[in-house]
Amino acid sequence: GTYGALFIEIATFNQFVPSVTGIQVNCAEKPTKQPEPGDTDGDGCSDQRENGPDETLGGQRDWQNPHDFYDVAGSPGPPQNGAPDGIIDLPNDILGVIKHHPAGDLGYDAQFDRGPWTGPNSWNDTQGPDGVIDLPNDILGVLLQFNHNCQ
């Protein structure tokens, strides 16, 4: 048989059990931690930093989760040319997410989108893109990581 989980919708506190009609699981080898300065998940934060105690220096994160460091854009000019720069800042990351919000002027871009986080902080268990840039997951998520640095 199949087993489900009970979920609670936060806004209304209604309980519901999701219905699953089919599922496909693709198994792959579990990634192994790379030697320093390795970045197994490719999020711009080294495995060593992600395992550290200080979240402002990239710590308290999962070295296998590419979505837990919200550095989405760097300076549009050289040397970054728009690529992530290792620090979560106002002009590139926070305003970048806000500009991709449905009320913004740039439209949806998965690079600026994160799903909900399941831990107590926006940097420990952040999910991948959920298809919408919104206030609780994306704008608050990037704001709570302001000035976190993995340079």
- C-alpha closest to that of 44 among 60, 61, 66, 59: 66
Surface-to-core class of residue 77, CB atoms within 10 Å of its CB (0-12 exposed, 13-18 middle, 19+ buried): exposed
Average pLDDT over every residue of 71-82: 80
What radius of gyration do the chain's Cα atoms show?
Answer: 17
At 2 the pLDDT is: 45
CA distance 21 to 25: 14
Of residues 135 and 80, the one with the higher pLDDT is 135
**Mean pLDDT computed over every residue of the chain:** 82
Sorted by where each begins, the domain ranges of the chain are 33-151
Q: Which of 13-17, 45-49, 122-126 has the highest mean pLDDT?
A: 45-49
CA distance 137 to 69: 13
Q: What is the pTM assigned to this prediction? A: 0.71
3-class DSSP state of 102 = coil
Average pLDDT over every residue of 108-121: 87
Residue 117's pLDDT band, with cuts at 50, 70 and 90, is: confident
